[in-house]
Amino acid sequence: MNDNVKTALVTGASQGVGREISLILAGKGWDVIVVARSVDKLAALKKDILQDFPDRKVYECPCDLASSDGPEKIMDFCTQNSLTVDLLINNAGCGLFGESVELGDSVIPMLNLNVTALTRMCALFGKAMKERGLGSILNIGSIAGNQPSSYFASYAATKSYVFNYSLALRHELGQYGVNVTLVQPGYIRTAFDNQCGITSEKYKKFSYNNGMTARAVAKCAVKSVLAKRSYVRAGIRNKLIAFFCGMLPRNFLAWVMANSVRNMTKDSKPQVADTSKSN
């Protein structure tokens, strides 16, 4: 084994940004541990990576990260295979669209995945990195975490948690030689809208027209964490949105967001998403 080759662990690797991050890292000479629930999609990703980069090692770790012992199963997988994770990428996540009081308890699996699982992964792998005095963590957030987002209220709140948690963790672990980077994408041209339960064609058209490709977000994310940036908003448009939204009073911003979404989704009724389709 080449001791100079580093290993990255990517959650939510079966599709979208996670898949693209895995491919980009392999192209940069990293071995990758790919984590997702779909065995078939992980196998397809491994095949694609090895086809382009046959000298790389790809480790498939099928796991439901949101389960009560998901993070521990992933750590056990790494231990059993004698794998040291040099770069942890917490990309797995899902969203739910709709009125909060109607969504009710259906948001709990999302909270478990977006908040609890991410926190536990950072604790488990961050502790190992701290003990080695080396390592890096990349958390994928969202610009939705910068403002109150009606009809995405719980999702946006989870990403606000990821934002603040990541910045705090960066300064806890930095003294031990461990880097933490947060990347905040905006709209991405993936299956996210459909998986969230959005049925409005007007909204989905707006999302697509204003979205970045998964590849572009992945490139930004990899570049940012390798440069050890603290947090980065992916794309010029998202940087501008975050800047101007930050200048508005929070309550007024919440009113604007609520009315914008209501007007954009008049052509359909929100429905509860099937969270089993998330990474």
* Helix or strand holding residue 222 (H, E): helix 214-226
Q: In angstroms, rounded to a whole number, what is the distance separating the alpha carbons of residues 222 and 138?
A: 9
User: By C-alpha distance, which of 42, 40, 57 is closest to 5?
Assistant: 57
Across 237-260, b (16+ Cβ under 10 Å) vs e yields ebeebbeeeeeeeeeebbeebeee
Residue of 155, 161, 165, 203 marked active site: 155
SS (H, E, C) 49-103: HHHHCCCCCEEEEECCCCCCCHHHHHHHHHHHCCCCCCEEEECCCCCCCCCHHHH
Question: Which residues neighbour 62 within 8 Å (Cβ) at sequence distance 6 or greater?
Answer: 35, 36, 37, 38, 39, 42
User: By C-alpha distance, which of 183, 192, 173, 277 is closest to 239?
Assistant: 183
Is residue 176 part of the annotated active site? The answer reads: no
User: By C-alpha distance, which of 67, 64, 56, 62 is closest to 41?
Assistant: 62
Q: In angstroms, rounded to a whole number, what is the distance separating the alpha carbons of residues 7 and 117?
A: 21
Question: Quick one: 47 exposed, middle or buried, by C-beta within 10 A (0-12, 13-18, 19+)?
Answer: exposed
Give the CA angle between residues 95, 101, 105 to the nearest 5°: 60
The single residue listed with the structure tokens 């009809």 is: 151
> Which residues are tagged catalytic?
155
